Amino acid sequence: MKPSFEKYIPFKQINLPDRQWPNNTITKAPIWCSVDLRDGNQALVDPMNLEEKLEFFHALCDMGFKEIEIGFPSASETEYEICRELIENNHIPDDVTIQVLVQAREHLIRKTFEAVKGAKNVIVHFYNSTSTLQRKVVFKTDMDGVIKIAVDGAKLIKQLTDEYDGDTNFRFEYSPESFSGTEPENAVEICDRVIEALGSTAENKLIVNLPNTVEMCTPNTYADQIEYFARNLKHRDAAIISIHPHNDRGCGVAAGELALLAGAERVEGTLFGNGERTGNMDIVTMGLNMFTQGVDPKLDFSNLPKLREIYERCTNMKIDPRQPYIGELVFTAFSGSHQDAINKGMKYMKESGTEYWEIPYLPIDPADVGREYEPIIRINSQSGKGGAAFVMNNNFGYDLPKRMHPEFSKLVQAKCEELGRELIPKELFEVFEKNYLEHKQKYVLSSRKIYEESENGNDYVHFKGKMKINGNEEVSLSGVGNGPIDAFFNAIKKVGLDKYEFISYSQHAISQGSDSKAVSYIELKKPDGKSIFGIGIDSNVNVASVLGVLNAINRAEA
């Protein structure tokens, strides 16, 4: 054997110089078929029991799936019993078609027809492997032998359908398993032969499913295979082109999307990409990719957290924190620049009244999938100035002025580094409380009075009160100014606090109703030339601003 990478055979490309799929756009949803209960279930360490399968089946119906592959009823008694339970106890809605998988082998096909007796709508999905490698290594036969297996299976299925005593609406699906590893011309030939054996027509089409059973090539090459197949199939009008991508190269969704551009009309996949090896194509990701492009996926993804709970409980599989749309961290920004952009996007959405979702770094509104805004920005030592401010505003209603962001951010980063982890919103607010609202007070107002006076057309504000220093000494304060802050500054200058300079001020309400309160953010320049912020809260806006000044001085002299 050759060493290292040299032992692998490069995938043979399709000669399709006039390919059309790159010029196409996805404008509508495909026919979706969930294979969670078959392909997904068979890949579990502990397959779902009857109760779990029933719950999962009903969840798929609630999402809007109209075609659901429920299992391989001829493979085991358990699978057979689940099929019978669904039929006999009326679990299947009238507009939902169950799909059953079976190898193109006589005794398995006959048992499959027994398993579905009494169902209203059934797709019998039969298959045999056609790939070059499996013909050589597994079956040791040529293409003629593989075609005979498929055609014989098709003839038996047609015969059993004709002989069937009941009113079941049968449809058929054929998969040349490992399609992507089959020579394109051979894949076309075997499917044409199956269509002929079944007598499929434009009015009664065969679902021709082209599985990327093992993802062997780049998504664009898979798209070339699909377009080649659709162009060259003799009985194209009698076929619905279906795809079944797997994710061995990590490109299952991309392969599925490009296959739709190339002419596929139907997609088989699973929720969150569960399936053999690295999984099947993730229908949730593909569907929501369409959703974010203004295309209705025709499936209900409005409560992904509920779907996640059902999925993880029934399969014992865990969804990765980075899984698109549903992972714990996908709507989370730690980077400072990302946090700032999201924060500005939120403000733009609120202020502009735009009809469209226009927020940087968030390709979808979390609310559209049942997620919440709160977790979007999370705080760690790498977070930027705007991140902590966003959480304070979004979670607690404190709209910190932009000039205050750097100061508060340093306090938050110091706490993150002390703990060695991110802060949850509650802990972030505790940093705010400790450093501002509950800060040690050297100076405390024991009484206060603020009133206005007009004289000779001029308006003045008076401040009078008493202030304790270090809890003991009490001094009287009196000052006049053009506003409450100016009056208070003039009052405290008389008792030695004359080295602080007022820089900026902002204020907003933090509650509503008769007990509403205002919060004031005051920025002062300290004697050393650096700035510091203080916060005051009171039901009286003038008092809140005065308390903010005193809070800044107390913080400066701590």
- pLDDT tens digits for 38-97? 999 999 999 999 999 999 999 999 999 999 999 999 999 999 999 999 999 999 999 999
| Other C-beta atoms lying within 10 Å of the C-beta of residue 57 | 24
The pLDDT assigned to 553 comes to 92
Name the H helices within 278-424. Answer: 283-291, 304-315, 336-352, 385-396, 405-419
Q: What is the mean pLDDT of residues 301-315?
A: 97
Tokens of 109: 């096909």
Whether 8 has a pLDDT exceeding 60, the answer reads yes
Q: What phi and psi, each to the nearest 5 degrees, are found at residue 533?
A: -105, 150
pTM score, whole prediction: 0.79
Task: List the domain boundaries for the chain.
Answer: 28-303, 336-421, 443-556
The pLDDT assigned to 558 comes to 81
The CATH fold of domain 443-556: Double Stranded RNA Binding Domain (3.30.160)
The H or E element that residue 493 is part of is helix 484-493
Whole-number percent of the chain with pLDDT over 70: 97
Q: What is the residue type of 354?
A: T
Question: What is the 8-class DSSP label of residue 234?
Answer: T
Kindly tell me the number of DSSP H helices and DSSP E strands found in the chain: 17, 14
Tens of pLDDT along 503-521?
A: 999 999 887 666 788 999 9
Tokens of 19: 């390919």
Q: What is the mean pLDDT of residues 318-345?
A: 88
Return the CA Rg of the chain.
Answer: 34
Q: What is the mean pLDDT of residues 26-36?
A: 98
The pLDDT assigned to 373 comes to 58
Average model confidence (pLDDT) across the chain: 92
Q: SS3 for 144? A: helix
What's the maximum distance between 2 C-alpha atoms anywhere in the chain?
110
The pLDDT assigned to 455 comes to 78
Tens of pLDDT along 129-151?
A: 998 777 877 777 788 999 999 99
Quote the strand ranges of 434-542, DSSP E: 443-455, 458-469, 473-481, 501-509, 518-525, 531-538
Give the whole-angstrom CA distance, residue 345 versus residue 364. Answer: 13
Question: Would you say 475 and 484 are in contact if contact means Cβ atoms under 8 Å apart?
Answer: no
Give the whole-angstrom CA distance, residue 464 versus residue 197. Answer: 101
Buried/exposed 268-285: b ≥16 CB within 10 Å, e otherwise:
bbbbbbbbeeebbbbbbb
Tokens of 216: 């062997």
pLDDT tier at 265, thresholds 50, 70, 90: very high
Q: Which CATH class is domain 28-303?
A: alpha beta
The pLDDT assigned to 197 comes to 98
Tokens of 367: 């609310």
Tens of pLDDT along 207-239?
A: 999 999 999 999 999 999 999 999 999 999 999
Q: What phi and psi, each to the nearest 5 degrees, are found at residue 396?
A: -125, -5
Give the whole-angstrom CA distance, residue 7 versus residue 1. Answer: 6
Q: What phi and psi, each to the nearest 5 degrees, are found at residue 234?
A: -65, -40
Give the whole-angstrom CA distance, residue 404 versus residue 224. Answer: 56
Give the whole-angstrom CA distance, residue 231 versus residue 224. Answer: 11
Tens of pLDDT along 352-405?
A: 999 999 999 999 999 999 997 555 666 776 666 677 888 888 888 899 999 999
